[in-house]
Amino acid sequence: MKRLAVYCGSNMGAKKQYEQCAQALGIAIAQRGIDLVYGGGKLGLMGVVADAVLGQGGQVYGVIPEAIRDHEVAHQGLTELHIVRDMHERKAKMTELTDAFVAIPGGIGTLDELFEAWTWRSLGYHNKPFALLDVDGYWHHLSLFLNGMAEQKFMSQERRNLLIETDDIDDALDQLIMACHDKESQLIW
């Protein structure tokens, strides 16, 4: 895994643990020699993870829509900042640039990005792994909901199992790296 896309909030959230996780994740990414791909913003957890990678001498690739850049929230100190037309192009470009995805706490944008990566993987558009990095139980209810979807047969258990879930940064990175080595393409319904 050479590049990792991190999906996260453009806000800090209610708990200090979210910011601490974003910073620790950024440091761990850079220390492993992995480049960061993210939404290109300077605010919230997005800015924290980018600054942590940059602070360790790592490479950071941001992808931001014009409308957001124009509101002066684009991070100006990145290795590369890709300006795209809209959110659809942003997600496609991030998918193109990355080898894997991880979501830490965030809002509807984070969910949109995660679910699109999952859907695209399920449809065979890519074979890149993705994970939820749980911070202080943030993703607990989502995990239960997804289990219910599988139990009610709106998602196969095989598709449900594609989502790596952990509360440990090193475990998340290790599992994503291992999954990247598995080149067997799967189309799971």
Structure tokens that stand for 131 in this block: 């994970």
Residue 78 exposed, middle or buried by CB count within 10 Å (0-12, 13-18, 19+): buried
The rounded distance, in Å, linking the Cα atoms of 43 and 45 is 7
pLDDT digits (tens, 9 = 90+) for 142-177: 999 999 999 999 999 999 999 999 999 999 999 999
pLDDT in tens, the chain (189 residues): 999 999 999 999 999 999 999 999 999 999 999 999 999 999 999 999 999 999 999 999 999 999 888 776 899 999 999 999 999 999 999 999 999 999 999 999 999 999 999 999 999 999 999 999 999 999 999 999 999 999 999 999 999 999 999 999 999 999 999 999 885 444 444
Q: Does domain 3-181 have CATH number 3.40.50.450?
A: yes
Q: Where are the domains of the chain?
A: 3-181
pLDDT of residue 183: 56
Q: Locate all alpha helices (DSSP H) within the chain, ordered by sequence.
A: 16-31, 44-55, 66-69, 87-97, 108-122, 140-151, 157-160, 169-181
